[in-house]
Amino acid sequence: MTGAKSIGMKQSLLAAVVVAILAGAGGYWAGHRSTGRTDAMAQPAGAAGAPAKTERKLRFYRNPMGLPDTSPVPKKDPMGMDYIPVYEGEQEEEPGAANQVRISTEKVQKLGVATEAAKNRVLDKIVRAAGRIEPDERRTYIIAPKFEGYVERLHVNATGQPVGKGQALFEVYSPELVSAQREYAIATDGVQSLDGAGSEAQSGMKQLADASLTRLKNWDISDEQVKALAKSGEAKHTLTLRSPVNGIVTEKKAVQGMRFMPGERLYQIADLSVVWVVADVFEQDIGLVKSGAKAKVRISAYPDKTFEGVITYVYPTLSTSTRTVPVRIELANPGILLKPGMFAQVELPVGAKDPVLTVPTSAIIDSGTRQIVLVQAREGHYEPRDVKLGARSENYIEVLDGLKDGETVVVAANFLIDAESNLKAAIGGFNHAAHGTPEGSAKPPAIGSGHRAEGKVEEVDAKAGVVSISHGPVDSLKWPAMTMEFKTANDSLLTDLKPGVTVAFEFVERTPGEWVITSVKPAANPHAGH
């Protein structure tokens, strides 16, 4: 009896221990069923005296594909993947930070992203403009006789021929000129013959001689020719007209034997020792250009030479077709290297007086209606920011509003990041539709959309969770048949992905360029993908 009684007590004690263990396990399991409870509530009653340990506070559950969709309670996405819990203290952005673009460190390196801090600097600007070489209008001369006559002989008979000051250009015959010479010669002889006669007669003859001389001078007859006429007393049949300046014959209309009328232009001569460069400066830059400033001119014909000149005049007119204002630059032309009509590239240095907030010009993304920069919030996080721009230099641009001194902006690969930002905005619109787009709608596939394909498994990297598949065409993406690498959503999918096996699978684009398989099953058509 005593032995039986002892056995009974042992069995009762064992049962009590089992019940206690089960109760403790049940309490632990019940406590972890609710994430909002503390560890003290989740512990068995027997541990009530132990110090209470507060569990991390749950903030929300985020979409496993990185989409801007959150939930206060556990849920699954349309592909059956569990939403991921996000707790306080974790470096996970709130939904309100949806305007930031997140990029992994590895992708930042692949894209070649470079940044630079905005800072205050003196903005030295160079205004560039296209121009052309033109003769100095003040050094251009026209040979146009003031009397009627005939061209008897040409001494300069080709356009472009250089001439010196006083060089004979052509000889002319004019009945009016011969008559004027004879009048002057007779009046001069009359003054000499009346020497000693009455003052009244001598004065009248002298007035006639002076009138004849004035008439000859008004016809641009040179003093030398007048003196020769007075000395010889004989009227010449022809008269030689000479160049008034050193220069180049830029226009010749005189032909031997032709008749010309008073004022008809026979020659044009230009002194090209000094030329003009007329540059067309854009309207937005004309306020920076001032008379007296220096300018640099480059000519395509002489790439190794730089010509320096001075701005002498800013024209008061604007071309409505090109929105440019002509600016005149005076330029010395030794050796007559610069020819009228040559094109020129003009640089007008303009220096600012005070430092202004600037960023590199490569940091600006200009859509035509807005200008933005990508501000680096922290490593891998970029925020598009609207800015108002001011003056520009060769490498930097002034920021009037939207940015602070010291903020870091992206200066390289910013267009790639902006493209990702646009994709993120498109994803937001896709999610707000609650995946309820009717069939047959013309929306393009967004990141996170599911796609189906069939193909043959070529290689499997179980450690990296990557599989290479030769798949057939994918209609939803308009892909042709090809071989590419996919990642797997979880390790359990690798059991059905063996080299040589033909499978039907579903996949999504988790991030731009990252394709993830979400489900796998044996292919109904074993020849799919070939």
- CATH 2.40.30.170 in the chain, residue ranges: 99-136+272-436
pLDDT higher than 80, residue 129: yes
Burial label, 338 (beta-carbon count in 10 A; 0-12, 13-18, 19+):
buried
- Residue 136 pLDDT: 93
Compare 398 and 417 and report the one with higher pLDDT: 398
Nearest to 168 by CA among 149, 185, 153: 153
Task: Write out the CATH class of domain 450-522.
Answer: mainly beta
CA-angle at 211, arms to 209 and 217, nearest 5°: 105
- Mean pLDDT, all residues of the chain: 77
pLDDT tens for each residue of 140-164:
999 999 889 999 999 999 999 999 9
pLDDT higher than 60, residue 430: no
- Residue 5 pLDDT: 43
Q: How many angstroms separate the Cα of 479 from the Cα of each of 162, 363, 419, 432, 497?
A: 72, 34, 21, 27, 22
- Which distant-in-sequence residues (6+ apart) come within 8 Å of 168 by Cβ? 155, 156, 240, 241, 242
**Ranges 17-26, 207-216, 482-491: which has the least confidence:** 17-26
Yes or no: domain 99-136+272-436 corresponds to CATH 3.30.450.40: no
pLDDT higher than 60, residue 424: no
Residues 434, 417 contacting (CB under 8 angstroms): no
CATH no. of 140-270: 2.40.50.100
pLDDT higher than 90, residue 251: yes
- Residue 346 pLDDT: 94
pLDDT tens for each residue of 335-350:
899 999 999 999 988 7
pTM of the model: 0.48
pLDDT cut 90: percent of the chain above it:
29
- CATH 2.40.50.320 in the chain, residue ranges: 450-522
- Residue 256 pLDDT: 92
Band (pLDDT 50/70/90 cuts) for residue 96 is: very low
pLDDT higher than 90, residue 331: yes
Band (pLDDT 50/70/90 cuts) for residue 420 is: low
pLDDT higher than 70, residue 238: yes
Residues 158, 250 contacting (CB under 8 angstroms): no
- CATH 2.40.50.100 in the chain, residue ranges: 140-270
- Residue 8 pLDDT: 47
